[in-house]
Structure 1
Amino acid sequence: MARSVDIIRHRFLHAVVSITLAFVTHTSVADARRYDLDPEHLTIGFLVRHLGYADILGFFRKASGSYTFDEATRTLSDVRVVVDTDSVFTGHDKRDKHLRGRDFLDASRAPRMTFTASSATWTGDKTFKLNGELELLGQRRPLQLTGTLNKSGPYPIGDGPSKPYVMGVSLRGTVKRSEWGMNYGVANGWVGDDVHVIIEFEARQAR
């Protein structure tokens, strides 16, 4: 009799656990939303030292990206940002042409660079580390970005009663360009090896 009671209790507990796990999994999937980077509120910039005197500030004017985020559990996945290397801009035509060439981005042969990541490690209420990979010049290498979730909520600007849900994020990181074979100006100090990455964006929740 006692054995029968134990078996029934075990089966009951197993059923409760299974139902709970199914509910949690379903809820997590249901709360994971896809976000698309808003191209009108996206800045991908960089700073690199020039001749040891000052940093040159540049941008990539064409990029796109998306990710999946569960705000309740703060679970991030499916991060993908694609940058057109030909869109590099520093405000100096001759320099920009050089940056597009084979000494640097080699845009005609490598028209895009891509950052991907599958998760984030939260270091505070609003701060996190994003460990991913950067594909550049046909090579994939690890790249860690530090991030801040600045704000999330219904967007205050726009017409109509239905406001899009928007997240605003700041990301920072450093790329050592010589690791990708981009060695021009490294040995003589004309161009810094460390490229400091600056990313600011607003992303809209897909409907």
Structure 2
Amino acid sequence: MNPGTMIEHSARSALVASALCLSGAAFAEPATFEVDSEHFSMSFEIMHIGYAPVIGMFREVEGQFVYDDATGELQSGTLVFQSDSIFTNHKKRDEHLRSDDFLHSKKYPEIRFDLTDFEPSGENTGKVTGDLTMLGQTNPVTLDVTLNKSAEYPIGHEDFTLGISAETSLRRSDWGMTYGLEPALVGDEVRLRFGFEANQDSGWF
């Protein structure tokens, strides 16, 4: 191989290597993920007069967050629940929960969670801290989070998808929701569990 050919070959190799590096860097950049409302489950549990817990859910939610698949870090995010979408499989109870004794859905139609920090605790686990706004008040909440799987979806939309599980407990009285505390008709502690899929925004490809 003559010197000119060697130089040309080296230049081509350098260009290919650079392109691969740039491509990998672009793929590894943090991306926006949209919550898939069709694959979102959220439950809450609260004790009723000390006898048994009432289990319910919110059926309408939307949200997005920024996730870096290369580092496994959640960088920011927001979830918004429609408070009047509360469901406990009991019509009169659900109407009461929407009233000003509890969620006051007419005045406060949204419950909002804004992610402020993510601290890894294991290979695919961590603690998410965020601000929960409900009844016009905002307080910090910390959730235990598991990043279950991130990969291209095997059926249907085939988008790059992340699956998340999370859980926490909070005191509803911290947001001024005190109905039923005295006498002890409704518990103060509320246990929350989440499970959902989120799809990478196609605009990032």
TM-score, normalization by structure 2: 0.84
1:125-164 equivalences in 2 (<5 Å) = 125-158=123-156, 163-164=158-159
Q: What residue ranges of structure 2 are gaps of 5+ in the alignment?
A: 1-20
Query: Is the alpha carbon distance of 1:134 and 1:97 closer, same or farther for their aligned partners in structure 2, counting shifts above 3 Å?
Result: same
SS at match of 2:113: strand
Percent pairwise identity: 39
Q: Output the amino acid matched with 2:52.
A: A
The number of residue pairs the alignment matches comes to 181
User: Which residue does the alignment assign to 1:196?
Assistant: 191
Moved more, 182-191 or 97-106: 182-191
Partner Cα distance (1:28, 1:184) in 2: 51
User: Which residue does the alignment assign to 2:87?
Assistant: 89
Which runs of structure 1 show a deviation greater than 3 angstroms over 4 or more consecutive aligned residues? 27-30
Q: Output the amino acid matched with 2:172.
A: R
Q: Output the amino acid matched with 1:190.
A: L
CA deviation after TM superposition for structure 1 residue 28, in Å: 7.8
Q: Indicate if the aligned counterparts of 1:76 and 1:118 stay in contact, CA closer than 8 A.
A: no
User: Which residue does the alignment assign to 1:169?
Assistant: 164
Measured against aligned partners, the alpha-carbon deviations of 1:163-190 in whole angstroms (never above 9, x if no partner) come to 2111111010112001111111112221
Q: Indicate if the aligned counterparts of 2:147 and 2:163 stay in contact, CA closer than 8 A.
A: yes
Measured against aligned partners, the alpha-carbon deviations of 1:76-134 in whole angstroms (never above 9, x if no partner) come to 22210000001000000000000000110000000001000133100001111001110
SS at match of 1:142: strand
Partner Cα distance (2:51, 2:193) in 1: 20
User: Which residue does the alignment assign to 2:74?
Assistant: 76
User: Which residue does the alignment assign to 2:200?
Assistant: 205
Q: What residue ranges of structure 1 are gaps of 5+ in the alignment?
A: 1-22
Q: Output the amino acid matched with 2:110.
A: R
Partner Cα distance (2:116, 2:183) in 1: 38
CA deviation after TM superposition for structure 1 residue 205, in Å: 0.7
Q: Output the amino acid matched with 1:198.
A: R
Alignment RMSD: 1.9
1:37-116 equivalences in 2 (<5 Å) = 37-116=35-114
1:3-42 equivalences in 2 (<5 Å) = 27=25, 31-42=29-40
TM-score, normalization by structure 1: 0.83
